[in-house]
Amino acid sequence: MPVTQDQRSEIDALRGTAQPTRRATVASLEEILYEPITVLDHGFIRVIDYMGDDSAIVQAARVSYGKGTKKLLEDAGLIRYLMRHWHSTPFEMAEIKYHVKLPIFVARQWIRHRTANVNEYSARYSKVQDEFYIPAPGQLGIQSSANRQGRGAVLDEAQAAKVIDLLREDAVRNYRNYAWMLNEDDAGAPLDADRSGLARELARMNLTLNTYTEWYWKTDLYNLMHFLRLRADAHAQYEIRVYAEAMLDTLKRWVPHTYAAFMDYRMGSAQISATGLGLIRRMLAGERVTQEASGLSKREWRELMEVLGLPSA
Amino acid sequence: MPVTQDQRSEIDALRGTAQPTRRATVASLEEILYEPITVLDHGFIRVIDYMGDDSAIVQAARVSYGKGTKKLLEDAGLIRYLMRHWHSTPFEMAEIKYHVKLPIFVARQWIRHRTANVNEYSARYSKVQDEFYIPAPGQLGIQSSANRQGRGAVLDEAQAAKVIDLLREDAVRNYRNYAWMLNEDDAGAPLDADRSGLARELARMNLTLNTYTEWYWKTDLYNLMHFLRLRADAHAQYEIRVYAEAMLDTLKRWVPHTYAAFMDYRMGSAQISATGLGLIRRMLAGERVTQEASGLSKREWRELMEVLGLPSA
Amino acid sequence: MPVTQDQRSEIDALRGTAQPTRRATVASLEEILYEPITVLDHGFIRVIDYMGDDSAIVQAARVSYGKGTKKLLEDAGLIRYLMRHWHSTPFEMAEIKYHVKLPIFVARQWIRHRTANVNEYSARYSKVQDEFYIPAPGQLGIQSSANRQGRGAVLDEAQAAKVIDLLREDAVRNYRNYAWMLNEDDAGAPLDADRSGLARELARMNLTLNTYTEWYWKTDLYNLMHFLRLRADAHAQYEIRVYAEAMLDTLKRWVPHTYAAFMDYRMGSAQISATGLGLIRRMLAGERVTQEASGLSKREWRELMEVLGLPSA
Amino acid sequence: MPVTQDQRSEIDALRGTAQPTRRATVASLEEILYEPITVLDHGFIRVIDYMGDDSAIVQAARVSYGKGTKKLLEDAGLIRYLMRHWHSTPFEMAEIKYHVKLPIFVARQWIRHRTANVNEYSARYSKVQDEFYIPAPGQLGIQSSANRQGRGAVLDEAQAAKVIDLLREDAVRNYRNYAWMLNEDDAGAPLDADRSGLARELARMNLTLNTYTEWYWKTDLYNLMHFLRLRADAHAQYEIRVYAEAMLDTLKRWVPHTYAAFMDYRMGSAQISATGLGLIRRMLAGERVTQEASGLSKREWRELMEVLGLPSA
């Protein structure tokens, strides 16, 4: 279970109170506010706060004095137009804040998105919890030969079991030694009253990269979509993709018109190069084009054929 | 009056509705939400939306599951601590959005603060209104001789009147010619049915820099305070300072503990150089220090004496 | 002529000296270093400095100890791969600095690109020069009816002459009154010894938006390309597009492999939506698709047909 | 030794070549270009490239056509003025690029500085080397009781030896298991020809946080100084402070006038609050002020007395 009894009570206390506000408010997002959505074995995302809705985008795009919306259809059309033509500033006018619990090696990928605000749990200041990500056997892919940074078929059962044992044993032993160095038991009491504990800022270096950490992460809608486009993509590493997928659901609840435009113009779209466009034009004109005569490398040809739903050979 | 009848109705419609929310809510800021606060002769600021409150800073600093607050005193103390030690990330967890109407030459200074989101009224897309900033006579300072980028004593009455006339005449004539080039009257109808209007993206270049523009401007609390520290400072140009001062009032309503810490540790504070600290130590030890023996230039000495409330000669 | 005799001498002095360096150096860019390239009637761009070359991108992508390059072909291929898959960080490892002279209304568009460093000539600190952008008659397009923010056919000769006269007269008169308010002649001497001049920070508000300003502008290669993709695009306003086009030439001199990949994957490319891709697949399978049955609006259909080189009706 | 024989040759090849350039060039920085400067047990920093020098700051501040420098004294004075009054944009006109090898837990602190460009060695793409940071015994401080995020006195010898053994054993064992999961020996050959290796993107999660990583890191001079002010500070964690200190030396070589101003106005300076300034004024006027009557908390009083070089009790 990703949250303790105490944390559950704190969450329920927040969810149990409501105040009136004049601000733009989204009922379907309020419904899940503060609620942890489980990701991986011990992780979660929680929506903590948000600013704006689909209308706020329209309102800013029109620099309005009031709500800024016209007919619903027109608003949806404007959002589609803004998305299609890469207008970024109106989408920056909405903001969202998450609380995320995630393995450190995932956090290291995530933090590369710089246009966001982050407040991470400090292992200099507090002891880390003994929670580690241990992949499910079905996730233990072998090194892909086609893609230097991906994974392929799943390991056989025996080897998968061995890997899982190693990951668990190493994480647990390293954590136990971390606690020993700190000289601190689970309740925060000294393990041994006669010795001093090593500084937390040092002991933490013994932890493994699958140890869970937590942070508050806040970003605007434009940069959230940029994050999701890269991290919910099929080529993203599974362990970050599941977070992005959970966040896509919150996007849909929050700004449904923007979500629809995003799925059409970003997630499901393709960027076709000048050379690729030239080939499509020739194919539409009835010409038979081969990779050899295309000017594309084999790899690029394969990528283009995939996008066009054609066999690459 | 900075807003029209129609705009007033739109604002009232927004102010007249309220919805329940589970989010952090600040009653004293809700009170003025959407309401224009007059600045200069035709300008204003309006708070359009906000995310978080003093507690949200504490909540993020503690990476909490609940509200994150402890005793009120402790929370205020934590905020003071974070401010004193230049912790930036917790303050980035709160966000505010303004609608601002301001002269273009002020907008050009303002936009230099890059860590903010901006959506400006587009003079390529719509005709600009005929509103210009004309300084009050009491603001017409002469070029300062002490400060190359400041103003000094006020012009005499006759010359002030001449300056105001020139500013008004030039702005009005240029606007009239702008409208002629667009071939568009105040109601948007052609002035002359027999000719085409020049493109808006071109005609706008005839406007003067005191013409008013508008934008939505959104930033986080940390960067807002950075903006205010520079722009509410006594050395900032008057025409941007009055906006910053109006925003200081909204800061006080929004996050009173943060405001108090900000006034103490930023607005009223001074950065003393290593050399300056050495001099203060010697003075506190009873030594009499002169500018000549201080190692400081005359200008720096004067600045230090001013901070210390001492005569500079 | 965009530079004065004195400025010319300063430029020649810089161009006349050379020092040895161990840094990555690009001969074809050194050739034009510091040299003003004329844009519009009084504007220019000058390359002032640069860091890195095509190899520096490869070197960073491989986190190399040495030059990082392998065979030339492989390097070009890696750059194409990085561009195609939207890898941004290696392109951020090269940097360029320009000196730009441009009309204020163009500067206002340009500054919206926030991921850059800017140092602008200060009209609070110094008097502005009397230089204004006056469009050539061939640029005086009427307001486009198809595109709310564009221009269409050119004004007839008589009206064009009238517009040019108005723009020039208004700019010149406003500048003359600006100088009167400052009480400063072209040589910096008082016009009238018996009165004080208005502060520069105030007088500047009387200038028109076609007055030229200058700045140093520095950005990394990734953000430069983002700027060029938007501003060298056929839909960008002519007055900023000509700057972007001049900068494209400097890009080609600086990083030829990156330039080639950029032209193929960005400038000449198209982003096709999920719906659009579905239509292309059906058309390639021999189906006849109409706008009515496409699920696209008329406008989107027209945009897609244009990309595919097909008639839209 | 932080670099291998092959890496040494690559570095020497780069250092052995020089080309003429018209750009601003700094001989004392060229001297150490590409050369690794050892930090911690296996880490280093290397300056890979730079743009600009002290003059470039002055040149940009003056938006010059030439070198922009006047008399040497005047230039140094301008740099001091810009630093004292927090002008940021001229310092952003110089840029530097480092290659850094550092433990992952240090990298996690470092990356929080977002206004920089980073290209990290990818453990998804390549196998990580078996190098771990093992602190020297003299660095093994106990958890500080005064400062929740610091360290105090050093552990006794026996316990220090135990800690070092644990850190080494755990890192080595986890690395060995990492290599087993990858099924890859030190030369990149399979350990066991009959089984597949786990994907690199998964196996890496078994590594400890003291494993070394590498990146290219590029930033402008303004943000570099911001980084150094925080990370070369006495309160920063030792393991990042040693990197900042090595970088301070490169700053001194690169821009000596800026370095001098930085040491005076930033590193050695203090920000005194409004309350603190009031107290100093009273003390300078001869009043005896106590903590109880000061309005400051005990902690703040202690901090202020320390800055003033006075006993806090």
Residue by residue, DSSP assigns B188-256 as S--S-TTSPPBPHHHHGGGSBTTBEEEEEEEEEHHHHHHHHHHHSSTTS-HHHHHHHHHHHHHHHHH-H
Q: Based on the fold, state whether residues B12 and B110 are members of the same structural domain.
A: yes
Question: For residue C91, is it within any domain?
Answer: yes
pLDDT digits (tens, 9 = 90+) for A204-244: 999 999 999 999 999 999 999 999 999 999 999 999 999 99
Q: Based on the fold, state whether residues B38 and B147 are members of the same structural domain.
A: no
Question: For residue B202, is it within any domain?
Answer: yes
In chain B, which stretches have pLDDT less than 50?
none
Distance, in Å, from the CA atom of B250 to the CA atom of B260, rounded to the nearest integer, reads 13
Of B15, B18, B67, the CB nearest to A20: B18
Distance, in Å, from the CA atom of D33 to the CA atom of D30, rounded to the nearest integer, reads 5
The boundaries of the domain holding residue A159 are 135-209
Q: Which residues of A touch B33 (CB under 8 A)?
A: 22-23
pLDDT > 60? residue C226: yes
Instruction: Report chain C residues touching chain A, CB-CB < 8 A.
Output: 77, 84, 86, 89, 112, 230, 263-265, 267-277, 280-281, 283-284, 297, 300, 307-310
Q: Calculate mean pLDDT across residues C242-259.
A: 98
Q: Which residues of B touch D286 (CB under 8 A)?
A: none
Catalytic residue (choose from C108, C231, C281, C282): C231
Question: For residue B187, is it within any domain?
Answer: yes
Of the candidates B199, B185, B122, which has an alpha carbon nearest to the alpha carbon of residue C153? B199
In this prediction, residue D147 carries a pLDDT of 82
Catalytic residue (choose from B231, B241, B266, B282): B231
Q: Which residues of C touch A297 (CB under 8 A)?
A: 77
Of the candidates D51, D107, D45, D101, which has an alpha carbon nearest to the alpha carbon of residue D246? D45
Question: For residue C313, is it within any domain?
Answer: no
Contact check, Cβ <8 Å, D269/B267: no
Contact of C287 with C277, CB cutoff 8 Å: no
Helices (H), chain B: 5-15, 27-30, 54-61, 72-84, 104-110, 157-182, 200-203, 221-231, 238-254, 256-262, 274-284, 291-294, 298-308
Q: Based on the fold, state whether residues A7 and A90 are members of the same structural domain.
A: yes
Q: Based on the fold, state whether residues B231 and B254 are members of the same structural domain.
A: yes
Closest chain A C-alpha to C266 CA, distance in angstroms: 7
In this prediction, residue C221 carries a pLDDT of 98
pLDDT > 80? residue C187: yes
Of B89, B92, B216, the CB nearest to A60: B216
Share of chain A above pLDDT 70, in %: 98
Boundary of a domain, candidates D206, D222, D256: D206
pLDDT > 60? residue A116: yes
Residue contacts between A and C (CB atoms, under 8 Å): 77
Q: Based on the fold, state whether residues A283 and A300 are members of the same structural domain.
A: yes
Q: Does the annotation count D231 as an active-site position?
A: yes
Q: Which residues of C touch A270 (CB under 8 A)?
A: 271-272, 277
Boundary of a domain, candidates C189, C206, C223: C206
Residue C135, CA distances (Å) to A34, B170, C40, C44, C151 in order: 57, 21, 8, 15, 13
CATH, residue A30: 3.30.1360.170
Of C10, C90, C218, the CB nearest to D119: C90
Question: For residue C234, is it within any domain?
Answer: yes
Distant-in-sequence, close-in-space partners of A160: CB < 8 Å, separation ≥ 6: A137, A140, A154
Distance, in Å, from the CA atom of C165 to the CA atom of C170, rounded to the nearest integer, reads 8
Contact check, Cβ <8 Å, A202/D151: yes
Token duo for residue B28: 């004293």
Contact check, Cβ <8 Å, B281/D84: no
In this prediction, residue C106 carries a pLDDT of 98
In this prediction, residue C1 carries a pLDDT of 56
Q: Based on the fold, state whether residues A35 and A153 are members of the same structural domain.
A: no
pLDDT > 60? residue D1: no
Using DSSP, state whether C66 is helix, strand or coil. coil
Q: Calculate mean pLDDT across residues A127-137.
A: 96
In this prediction, residue A157 carries a pLDDT of 94
Token duo for residue C16: 């006349």
Contact check, Cβ <8 Å, D269/B276: yes
Cα atoms found within 13 Å of the Cα of residue B238, Cβ hemisphere only: 15
Share of chain D above pLDDT 70, in %: 98
> Helix-strand-coil percent breakdown of chain A, rounded to 5?
50, 15, 35
Q: Which residues of D touch A209 (CB under 8 A)?
A: 104, 204-209
Overall residue count recorded for chain A in this entry: 313
Q: What is the mean pLDDT of chain D?
A: 94
In this prediction, residue B1 carries a pLDDT of 57
Where is pLDDT greater, at A75 or C47? C47
Question: For residue D313, is it within any domain?
Answer: no
Q: Based on the fold, state whether residues D51 and D147 are members of the same structural domain.
A: no
Domain tally, chain D:
3
Q: What is the 3-state secondary structure (H, E, C) of D118-163?
A: EEECCCCCCCCCCCECCCCHHHCEEECCCCCCCEEEECCHHHHHHH
Q: Calculate mean pLDDT across residues C73-98.
A: 93
Of D264, D270, D280, the CB nearest to B308: D280
| Band of residue D74 on the pLDDT scale cut at 50, 70, 90 | confident
The set of chains that have 3 or more CB pairs under 8 A with A is B, C, D
In this prediction, residue B74 carries a pLDDT of 83
Contact check, Cβ <8 Å, C208/B207: yes
Residue C208, CA distances (Å) to C40, C107, C139, C172, D177 in order: 17, 13, 19, 9, 70
Q: Based on the fold, state whether residues C25 and C169 are members of the same structural domain.
A: no
pTM comes to 0.96
Question: For residue C9, is it within any domain?
Answer: yes
| Band of residue D150 on the pLDDT scale cut at 50, 70, 90 | confident
Distance, in Å, from the CA atom of D111 to the CA atom of C204, rounded to the nearest integer, reads 42
Q: Based on the fold, state whether residues C56 and C160 are members of the same structural domain.
A: no
Cα atoms found within 13 Å of the Cα of residue C42, Cβ hemisphere only: 16
Distance, in Å, from the CA atom of B44 to the CA atom of B35, rounded to the nearest integer, reads 9
Contact check, Cβ <8 Å, C23/D50: yes
| Band of residue C147 on the pLDDT scale cut at 50, 70, 90 | confident
Q: Based on the fold, state whether residues A62 and A120 are members of the same structural domain.
A: yes
Of A263, A271, A280, the CB nearest to C280: A280
Q: Which helix (H) or strand (E) holds C294?
A: helix C291-294
pLDDT-wise least confident of A100-104, A148-152, D107-111, D168-172:
A148-152
Contact of C124 with C201, CB cutoff 8 Å: yes
Q: Based on the fold, state whether residues A111 and A233 are members of the same structural domain.
A: yes
Q: Based on the fold, state whether residues A68 and A215 are members of the same structural domain.
A: yes
Contact check, Cβ <8 Å, D22/C30: yes
pLDDT > 80? residue A164: yes
Contact check, Cβ <8 Å, A270/C280: no
Q: What is the mean pLDDT of chain A?
A: 94
Distance, in Å, from the CA atom of B271 to the CA atom of B265, rounded to the nearest integer, reads 10
Using DSSP, state whether B50 is helix, strand or coil. strand
pLDDT digits (tens, 9 = 90+) for D41-56: 999 999 999 999 999 9
Question: For residue D21, is it within any domain?
Answer: yes
| Band of residue C220 on the pLDDT scale cut at 50, 70, 90 | very high
ipTM attached to this prediction: 0.95
Strand partners, C20: D20
Q: What is the mean pLDDT of chain C?
A: 94
